[in-house]
Structure formats: C-alpha cells, structure tokens
C-alpha cells in the first residue's frame, strides 16, 4: 500500500511525512490534478483530497469557503474520483479522501470503496464517523485494500485510543487542538504525552494537524510525530490566487517547499525521540 510504503521510506530517511490538504474542485476540478502534481514536486508526501460538503462542521472559515467554492463550481464525489484517475496517469503519490460521512453514505459505502480503489485512492478519512459506527464501512474498505484513518484529540481517553486501534489503518490523525481547522499563530507543543500514549496502544504512524501553517511550526511537530499535516494555510493560498494558474502553482510550490525542508527530524528517530 502506498501510504505504508511512504511512511517506511521516510522513516528510513529520518523525515516526518508532509501531508497536505486541498479541497478538490477548488478553484476547479480541472485544476486539481495540476495542484496535486505541484504539491508532489514541491515535497508533499501524502495528499488529502477534501470532498466538498455543504456543512463542514469540523472546519474553520478557510475550508468552509473552499467547500462552498467547489460545490458552486459543480464538484461532486464522482468528479473527485475522476480527478484521482487523471492524477494516477502521472503520479503514484498516496491519496486520501478526506470528507464527511453523509456524501460517502449517499454514494453507497460498498460502491465508494470499489470506485475509490479502482480510481487509485489509498485511504479514506470521514471526519464525523466515530469508530463505534465504522464497522460496516471498514468491511468494505478492508475488502478493497483501502486505509481507514481516524481522528484523535489531545483529550482522547485510553478507551477511545483503544477503540481507534481496532479500526484504524495507514496512520492516525491527531488534531493539535480541540476545535475547528484553521491557522494559529501559536500552537501548544505539549503533545508528547498524548503521542506517547497513542503509541502505547496503536502501532501506526501518528500525524499532527489543525493549525500548522509555518515551517517553524512544522519543524517542531516533525520532532514529535511521524507526519505534519497542513491544510488551511494552503487552502488560503488557493483562495487568493485561484484566478491565476501560473501564480497559484508558483505560490503553492514556494510554500510547500519550505514546509518540506522543515520535516527533517535532525537527530530525532522515527518514533519521535532524541537519538543519543
């Protein structure tokens, strides 16, 4: 599987994965593959393709507006999968569908797993699907070899961590703060205790997201976790430059290159601990 191979490859290089989020269809579905190609060229290791939804309750203003723009341009889940097919003609970068359960359920869970796998998707993260209710979806994703990624929070209990351990594959997404997505000038870097606790119960890489927007923040997260996840800051670049393809791709490349350089662990092993 591409996600597992990517984490293994980066672990051997002493790097955290850079996971970047974009909303598919923003500014257009036609441009989405080109954005992915530029992300990969600039150092992104895994791409989260956001499936636009009319009620993105876990997202802050930037991604809410991106979903609105994508929906207004006619983006559908079928269209997102078509974009994945176009990406797969030129790239093997790991791709994760990131969205809400309602569109997935309306599409049909079995059909989604089948179509996503055939298109070249590697995993799915449904923000509002708790592990207690994920068994049916997991049957279908497992059958098609898709990873099912779940969220954990800084205040997640051991019981919740153990429950996610039963269902998660690929990696675990730890949100850095309680609340919605969005850039934050200051992050709480006291995440080591919860990351250590997660690693006691889940033998998967741990990625940290929600609020990461600068190379400095990425560097600090890279020393603790196995992946740095960046979304809203990138979505804002797309918002500001979406009407000019050349400028958009240039700005994306510059931003992501800086983040990628910050993901070297510099004396930190792949479990996030200092090497003596």
Residues of the chain with pLDDT under 70: 177-189, 266-276
Report yes or no: 59 and 180 within 8 Å, Cβ to Cβ: yes
Helix, strand, coil % over all residues of the chain, rounded to 5: 45, 15, 35
Catalytic residue among 48, 122, 183, 226: 48
**Is 82 a residue of the active site?**
no
- What is the Cα–Cα distance from 213 to 131, expressed in whole angstroms? 28
Output the pLDDT for position 267.
45
Q: How far is CA 181 from CA 21, 107, 127, 139, in A?
A: 11, 25, 12, 29
Report H helices in the chain. Answer: 2-13, 32-41, 61-72, 77-88, 101-107, 109-119, 135-143, 158-167, 192-201, 215-222, 232-241, 245-261
Output the pLDDT for position 55.
87
- What is the Cα–Cα distance from 64 to 271, expressed in whole angstroms? 34
Q: Is residue 95 part of a domain?
A: yes
Catalytic residue among 40, 59, 122, 226: 59
**Is 48 a residue of the active site?**
yes
Output the pLDDT for position 59.
79
The domain total for the chain is 1
- What is the Cα–Cα distance from 121 to 49, expressed in whole angstroms? 10
Output the pLDDT for position 184.
42
pTM above 0.75, yes or no: yes
Q: Is residue 89 part of a domain?
A: yes
Find the CATH number of the domain harbouring 58: 3.20.20.70
- What is the Cα–Cα distance from 92 to 47, expressed in whole angstroms? 11
Q: Is residue 217 part of a domain?
A: yes
Strand partners, 227: 17, 207
Output the pLDDT for position 242.
92
Q: Is residue 274 part of a domain?
A: no
Q: Is residue 115 part of a domain?
A: yes
Q: Is residue 23 part of a domain?
A: yes
Structural domain for 117, as ranges: 2-261
Strand partners, 142: none
Report yes or no: 94 and 45 within 8 Å, Cβ to Cβ: yes
Output the pLDDT for position 274.
41
Cβ-based burial of 124 (10 A; exposed 0-12, middle 13-18, buried ≥19):
buried
- The half-sphere exposure of 119 on its side-chain side, counting CA atoms within 13 A, is 24
Q: Is residue 11 part of a domain?
A: yes
Report yes or no: 136 and 109 within 8 Å, Cβ to Cβ: yes
- What is the Cα–Cα distance from 94 to 222, expressed in whole angstroms? 19
Q: Is residue 223 part of a domain?
A: yes
Output the pLDDT for position 190.
76
Query: Which DSSP letter does residue 131 get?
Result: G
């Amino acid at each position: 599987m591409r996600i597992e191979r990517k984490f293994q490859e980066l672990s051997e290089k002493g790097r955290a994965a850079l996971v970047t989020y974009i909303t598919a269809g923003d500014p257009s579905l036609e441009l989405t593959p080109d954005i992915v190609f530029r992300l990969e060229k600039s150092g992104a290791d895994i791409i989260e393709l956001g499936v636009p939804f009319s009620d993105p309750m876990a997202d802050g203003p930037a991604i809410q507006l991106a979903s609105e723009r994508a929906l207004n341009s006619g983006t559908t889940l079928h269209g997102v999968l078509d974009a994945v097919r176009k990406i797969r003609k030129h790239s093997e970068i790991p791709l994760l569908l990131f969205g809400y359960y309602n569109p997935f359920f309306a599409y049909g869970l079995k059909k989604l797993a089948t179509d996503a796998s055939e298109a070249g998707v590697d995993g799915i993260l449904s923000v509002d699907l708790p592990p207690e209710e994920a068994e049916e979806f997991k049957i279908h994703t497992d059958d098609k070899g898709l990873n099912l990624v779940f969220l954990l929070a800084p205040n997640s209990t051991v019981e919740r961590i153990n429950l996610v351990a039963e269902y998660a594959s690929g990696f675990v997404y730890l949100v850095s703060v309680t609340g919605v997505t969005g850039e934050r000038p200051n992050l709480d870097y006291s995440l080591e205790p919860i990351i250590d606790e997660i690693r006691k119960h889940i033998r998967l890489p741990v990625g940290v997201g929600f609020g990461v927007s600068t190379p400095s923040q990425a560097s600090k997260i890279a020393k603790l976790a196995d992946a740095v996840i960046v979304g809203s800051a990138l979505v804002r670049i797309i918002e500001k430059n979406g009407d000019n393809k050349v400028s958009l791709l240039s700005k994306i490349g510059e931003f992501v290159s800086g983040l990628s350089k910050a993901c070297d662990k510099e004396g930190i092993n792949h479990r996030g601990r200092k090497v003596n």
